[in-house]
Structure 1
Amino acid sequence: MVEEVIARYLARRDPVEQPVDVVVLMGSAVLESVEVAAEAHRTHGVPVLISGGIGHSTQYLDDAVRRRGLDLATGRPEAHVFRDLLLGLGVGADQIVVEDQSTNCGENAHFTRRLIDTPKTLLLIQDPTMQRRTHACFERAFADLPGTTLLSHAPLIPWIGPDHVSAGPGRPEIWSRERFRSLLLGEIHRLSPDVYGPNGRDFIDHVAIPAEVLAAYNRLVTEDPSVIRR
Structure 2
Amino acid sequence: MPTTTLPPQHRSDVEILWNYNQLHHEPHPVDVGIGLGGHDFGVATYTADLYRAGTFPLIVFTGANAPTTVDRFPRGEAVHFRERAIDLGVPADAILVEPNATNTGENIDFTRALLKERGYLDSIKSVMLISRPYQQRRSYAICRKRWPEVEVICGSLPLALDDYVASIGDAERVINMLVGDTQRIWVYPAKGWAIEQDVPEAVRNAYSRLVDAGFTRRLLPA
Q: What is the TM-score of this pair, normalised by structure 1?
A: 0.80
SS in 2 for 1:160: helix
How many angstroms apart in 2 are the aligned matches of 1:139 and 1:226? 27
| Equivalenced residues, count | 202
What amino acid maps onto 1:40 in structure 2? L
What amino acid maps onto 1:98 in structure 2? V
SS in 2 for 1:130: helix
**Alignment correspondent of 1:8:** 19
How many angstroms apart in 2 are the aligned matches of 1:101 and 1:226? 27
Identical-residue share of aligned pairs (%): 28
How many angstroms apart in 2 are the aligned matches of 1:174 and 1:158? 12
Kindly indicate whether the alpha-carbon contact (under 8 Å) linking 2:179 and 2:215 is maintained by their aligned counterparts in 1: no
1:128-167 superposed matches below 5 A: 128-143=133-148, 146=149, 148-160=150-162, 165-166=165-166
Are 1:220 and 2:219 an aligned pair?
no
How many angstroms apart in 1 are the aligned matches of 2:146 and 2:105? 8
* Cα 1:86/1:9, change in 2 over 3 Å: same
How many angstroms apart in 2 are the aligned matches of 1:175 and 1:141? 33
Mean alpha-carbon deviation: is it higher for 40-49 or for 86-95?
40-49
Are 1:185 and 2:194 an aligned pair?
no
Are 1:75 and 2:74 an aligned pair?
yes
Q: Which has the higher helix share?
A: 2
Kindly indicate whether the alpha-carbon contact (under 8 Å) linking 2:59 and 2:95 is maintained by their aligned counterparts in 1: yes
Gaps of 5+ in 2: 1-11
How many angstroms apart in 1 are the aligned matches of 2:215 and 2:46? 35
The structure showing larger relative contact order (alpha-carbon pairs under 8 Å, at least 6 residues apart) is: 2
What amino acid maps onto 2:147 in structure 1? F
Kindly indicate whether the alpha-carbon contact (under 8 Å) linking 1:25 and 1:50 is maintained by their aligned counterparts in 2: yes
How far does the alpha carbon of each residue in 1:145-195 deviate from its partner, in whole angstroms, 9 at most, with x for none? Answer: x3x11111122345237xx813xxxxxx31411111111111111211xx2
Are 1:207 and 2:200 an aligned pair?
no
* Cα 1:149/1:225, change in 2 over 3 Å: closer
Q: What is the TM-score of this pair, normalised by structure 2?
A: 0.82
* Cα 1:141/1:226, change in 2 over 3 Å: closer
